[in-house]
Structures are given as structure tokens and as C-alpha cells.
């Protein structure tokens, strides 16, 4: 996640860096940035190990640092969304924001550990009017109440100030999403093959 922010500072595409590194013929596994902690499974084990280690007066600094960086990523995403809206002459306060995907990872319905939940909380705290769509998660319970998955229609997308790709489910027609949305903020690099002026990515 930190490399994503470094690429932003340097004006380098993190996706191109990963693609270039992936040409190494052996000993390389690509890891892709997103709106927060990710991976093939919910990240309980590292946290458990770090907590258990402290009982023995042993500090797993690398695990704790990785967790700290991952937990800060939703704040960074919200700041980028704020900047993107500002460039369009809009304020985050009062803006209508649609999150695509609230599940922890694509094509599943498990929201445990999902950074989308933190994103929604932060956006609401900033005064945004937040909606979401997830074909695998029909409702989510938040501290401010219950949200129900919105129908992903042209009317819905065109009424939003910003559509945020938070979980890149395979079923999403991203070309259509981009065509119907005023502004798309892609946290997953799912739209890399699309060339549209209304798409902003981490980091493009």
C-alpha cells in the first residue's frame, strides 16, 4: 500500500511498475494495491500472531507496521476522492458517492475485514451521501443504520457524483459503469484497459 502512495508522489503508475516486475521469469509474486487490507483470506492470523507475541515480550514490528499501513489506506483513498471531486468543482460534503463492492474480495459475499466498511464510515463522517452496490451482499449494518444494495442502473450511476470501485467483482460491466458515471475512482486497477477521461485510479 505504501508503494502505491510513493508512486503517486513520484508520478509513476503503480500498475505499470507491477506489470514490469511481473516479467521476471521466477521468484516473483505480484501484490496489487487496493483501498485497504486485502489478500486471499481475511487477515486474522497476522494480528493474532502479533498479539500473541507481545504476551512473550516479543514485538513483530514488520507485521505491526504492515497492519498500520493497511489500516491507513482508506483514509488515503478518501483524500484522493476528495481531490478528484474538488477538481470537478464539487465538495465531498453533500456529494453522492456509490461504492461498487463491499465484500472483502471479489466474487464472494463475506464482508469481514472489508476496507469498504471503513470507506463508507469515513465518507459519511465527511458529510457524503453514501450508497453501495454488491450483488453478493444485499444489506450491511453500520453504526449509522442499515444500507441496502442499490440497483446498478443507468439512472443510479448517472445520479452519483462519484462511483468508487472498491471490490472488483467479475460481474461488473466496467465499460458500462464508466459510460454511465460522471466520475469513476478505481481503487483496484480494474479499469486499466479503459481509456476514459472520467476515470481516476490509484495511482495512474
Task: Give dist(CA 183, CA 199) in Å, integer.
Answer: 6
Burial class (CB in 10 A: 0-12, 13-18, 19+), 112: exposed
Residue 66: per-residue pLDDT: 67
In the predicted model, residues of the chain with pLDDT beneath 50 are none
Catalytic residues: 41
Domains of the chain: 74-201 (3.40.50.720)
| Closest to 116 (Cα-Cα) out of 86, 136, 93 | 136
Q: Which helix (H) or strand (E) holds 5?
A: helix 2-10
Task: Give dist(CA 22, CA 55) in Å, integer.
Answer: 39
Residue 143: per-residue pLDDT: 84
Residue 160: per-residue pLDDT: 98
Residue 199: per-residue pLDDT: 96
Residue 88: per-residue pLDDT: 94
Distances (CA, A) of 171 to 17, 58, 112, 128, 156: 27, 45, 21, 26, 17
Amino acid at each position: 500500500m505504501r508503494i502505491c502512495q510513493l508512486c503517486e508522489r513520484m508520478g509513476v503508475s503503480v500498475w505499470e511498475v507491477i506489470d514490469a516486475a511481473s516479467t521476471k521469469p521466477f521468484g516473483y509474486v505480484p501484490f496489487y494495491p487496493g483501498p485497504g487490507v486485502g489478500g486471499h483470506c481475511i487477515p486474522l492470523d497476522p494480528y493474532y500472531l502479533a498479539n500473541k507475541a507481545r504476551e512473550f515480550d516479543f514485538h513483530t514490528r514488520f507485521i505491526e507496521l504492515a497492519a498500520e499501513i493497511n489500516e491507513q489506506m482508506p483514509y488515503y483513498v478518501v483524500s484522493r476522492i476528495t481531490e478528484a471531486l474538488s477538481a470537478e468543482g464539487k465538495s465531498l460534503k453533500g456529494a453522492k458517492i456509490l461504492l461498487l463492492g463491499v465484500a472483502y474480495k471479489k466474487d464472494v459475499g463475506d464482508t469481514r475485514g472489508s476496507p469498504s466498511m471503513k470507506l463508507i464510515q469515513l465518507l459519511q463522517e465527511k458529510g457524503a451521501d453514501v450508497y453501495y452496490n454488491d450483488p453478493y451482499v444485499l444489506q450491511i449494518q453500520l453504526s449509522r443504520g442499515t444500507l441496502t444494495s442499490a440497483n446498478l442502473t443507468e439512472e443510479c450511476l448517472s445520479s452519483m457524483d462519484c462511483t468508487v470501485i472498491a471490490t472488483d467483482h467479475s460481474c461488473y460491466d466496467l465499460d458500462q459503469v464508466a459510460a454511465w458515471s460522471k466520475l469513476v475512482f478505481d481503487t483496484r486497477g480494474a479499469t486499466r484497459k479503459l481509456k476514459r477521461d472520467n476515470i481516476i485510479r490509484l495511482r495512474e
